[in-house]
Amino acid sequence: MEHQGDRTTSTIVNFAPDGDIVLVIGREMKRFRVHSLFLKAASKPFVAMFKWEWQEGQDLLHRDSPKEIELPSDNAAALETILAIIHHQNNEIPRNITASQVLEVAIAADKYDFLDAMKLASATFLRSDITDANDLMRLVAAAYLFRNARAFKEITKALVLNCHVPYLDLACDEVESALGWRIFCLLETQRIFVRSEFSEILLGGINDRHAICNQRCGWTCKYAYAYLNSLKEKRLWPVGLHKISISEAMESAERMPDPVPEESSIECRHAKMHTPPKYRESRSWKLESLDENIGLCLSCVRDVDTSNPYDWHASGQTTIWQKGCIEHAIVSAGASAGSCSGTG
């Protein structure tokens, strides 16, 4: 791409050497020569800006040289990425774009309604394999602005599983401007709910049907006692789960072998029917089911009526959790539920 010398303060980045517009963006007044047709095809605000009855539009009809349009309040780097994409200049798209840069691009795309044009690129930018919690929160905000439901669910899932600090610690001006406080509350609610469900899975394992003997011979008790000791040894006792991430706790639970009791039980006439409990096998599919449903549903988060935040939590005795949306898991008895269209 050509970077042509400018007579004032900067160079012109030529996304379109024969373009009819020069956008002057940001406080640094960075210049980009572009096609107005490309902008109008990708953005409704630019359609309005270039209408013939507007002064900018009138100028375009009667000029031999490109018209300069100033956008001083916008982020030049973010719009440069968007302009490269809509002008098919793939070589100019950053390869190692940071989470902060992705969010800036999302803010610009949302402001100028470039969302459809950015759909494929946003899917590449929004990666859930990042480990830094602050960066994940920025990507949550970006996915929210891009309306990318799949990425929003995957990245919020990563935050719920891998972050054990308060989500408000991850707040910053750029994230708050995009999300608002309700998303932080929903994330915290989901994490609390997942920990509760996880604890129930662990403690419910005590009642494994293979370990039950009704003859009071001690067979059931010795296995239950050994199982509880295993939970303590693996730091999986519910009261201490807040000290580690949920992903760490779930991995530990998946690896935890079935216990071997040290105590012996008394003689039992049904001893031939005794079988060791299958704690790990029973626990495994429950943990898998829990894991599959973690992550916020973008459709529900965006469409909910915020005037009554409890309306969308439950319908009679059926919680939205059973429909696959953990963020709706706070049960408000008797409340009517909103519809959940999933993550699409």
Torsion of CA 40, 41, 44, 46, to 10 degrees: -20
Rg of the chain over Cα atoms, rounded to whole angstroms, equals 28
Residue pointed to by tokens 């309700």: 182
pLDDT of residue 273: 59
pLDDT of residue 271: 57
Specify the pLDDT at position 338: 39
Domain formed by 3-93, architecture: 2-Layer Sandwich (3.30)
Quickly list DSSP for 191-227. Answer: HHHHHHHHHHHHHHGGG-GGG--TT-SSHHHHHHHHH
The two counts, helices (H) then strands (E), for the chain are: 14, 7
- Tell me what pLDDT residue 228 has: 85
What confidence score (pLDDT) does residue 112 get? 95
Domain ranges of the chain: 3-93, 193-292, 297-344
Residue-level pLDDT at 181 = 83
Q: Determine the residue type at 239.
A: V
Residues of the chain scoring pLDDT < 50? 2, 4-9, 53, 57, 305-324, 326-344
DSSP, collapsed to helix, strand or coil, labels residue 32 as: strand
CA 128/CA 154 separation, integer angstroms = 6
